[in-house]
């Protein structure tokens, strides 16, 4: 009989806790460059150093939009990924693009730039890196170049310099940029 009462108390406690457990703990986060909108709450930031602006990170606050009077709830803003690419050629060619709508268009545009800037017609351009919704740094040293993508420019630069310094002592950042998601509604 005592076991039954303890079991019943444990079950009641579990049910009570589940009602008060924060639902935002499992919320998915996303970049919100213009700050939190209706039904969103800011949960952190990215960037903020080396000349890079702080970019808010948001999550849904779990509330429904009551202005629709029984219609479907507004799911909040819609974001579209943006792609970037870097291309290098053996004959001095170089290409880099940002804010493209897909990986294929980013790669194609970077290769076109690379071929246009090469010393010869046969530039042998190749994609070094494609990335989306991130920042990238291209670092060059005596042993060659490395590209690194990360959530912000300081992190991408730091990672690129670290990779370069594994084989070269004269590393420098030649290019850095971001292709961050664009709000489409």
Mean pLDDT, residues 128-134: 94
Q: Are residues 85 and 50 in the same domain?
A: no
Q: Which of 145, 147, 33 is nearest to 85 (CA)?
A: 147
- Alpha helix (H) ranges present in the chain? 2-20, 103-117, 153-164
Using the 3D structure, point to which of 114, 133, 152 is the last residue of a domain.
133
Q: Are residues 143 and 157 in the same domain?
A: yes
Domain range enclosing 37: 28-61
Q: Are residues 174 and 129 in the same domain?
A: no
Q: Are residues 140 and 109 in the same domain?
A: no
Structure confidence by residue, pLDDT tens digits, 42-100:
766 665 545 555 666 666 776 654 344 455 556 788 999 999 999 998 878 899 999 99
* Residue 12 domain flag: no
Counted domains in the chain: 3
Q: Are residues 120 and 141 in the same domain?
A: no
Report pLDDT for 61. 72
Q: Are residues 129 and 141 in the same domain?
A: no
Report pLDDT for 122. 67
pLDDT band for position 29 (cuts 50, 70, 90)? low
Q: Are residues 141 and 174 in the same domain?
A: yes
* Residue 52 domain flag: yes
* Residue 50 domain flag: yes
* Residue 155 domain flag: yes
Report pLDDT for 26. 40
30/46 Cα distance (integer angstroms) = 11
* Residue 1 domain flag: no
37/137 Cα distance (integer angstroms) = 31
pLDDT band for position 107 (cuts 50, 70, 90)? very high
* Residue 57 domain flag: yes
Report pLDDT for 10. 41
Q: Are residues 112 and 155 in the same domain?
A: no
* Residue 141 domain flag: yes
Report pLDDT for 16. 37
Q: Which of 166, 31, 158 is nearest to 176 (CA)?
A: 158
Q: Give yes or no for residue 34 having a pLDDT over 50.
A: yes
pLDDT band for position 7 (cuts 50, 70, 90)? very low
Mean pLDDT, residues 102-119: 93
Report pLDDT for 92. 81
* Residue 185 domain flag: no
Q: Give yes or no for residue 170 having a pLDDT over 50.
A: yes
**Can you list the pairs that 103-112 forms with residues at least 24 positions away whose Cβ atoms lie under 8 Å?**
103/130, 103/132, 106/130, 106/179, 109/85, 110/85, 110/86, 111/87
Decide: pTM greater than 0.75. Answer: no
């Amino acid at each position: 009989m005592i076991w039954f009462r303890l079991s019943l108390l444990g079950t009641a406690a579990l049910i009570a806790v589940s009602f008060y457990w924060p639902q935002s703990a499992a919320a998915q986060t996303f970049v919100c460059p213009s700050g939190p909108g209706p039904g969103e709450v800011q949960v952190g930031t990215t960037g903020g150093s080396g000349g890079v602006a702080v970019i808010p990170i948001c999550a849904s606050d779990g509330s429904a939009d009551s202005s629709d009077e029984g219609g479907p709830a507004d799911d909040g803003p819609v974001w579209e990924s943006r792609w970037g690419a870097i291309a290098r050629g053996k004959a001095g060619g170089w290409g880099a693009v940002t804010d493209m709508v897909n990986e294929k268009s980013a790669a194609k545009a970077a290769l076109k730039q690379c071929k246009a800037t090469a010393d010869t017609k046969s530039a042998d351009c190749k994609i070094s890196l494609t990335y989306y919704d991130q920042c990238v740094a291209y670092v060059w040293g005596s042993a060659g170049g490395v590209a690194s993508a990360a959530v912000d420019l300081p992190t991408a630069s730091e990672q690129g310099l670290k990779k370069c310094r594994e084989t070269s002592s004269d590393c420098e950042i030649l290019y850095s940029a971001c292709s961050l998601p664009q709000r489409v509604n």
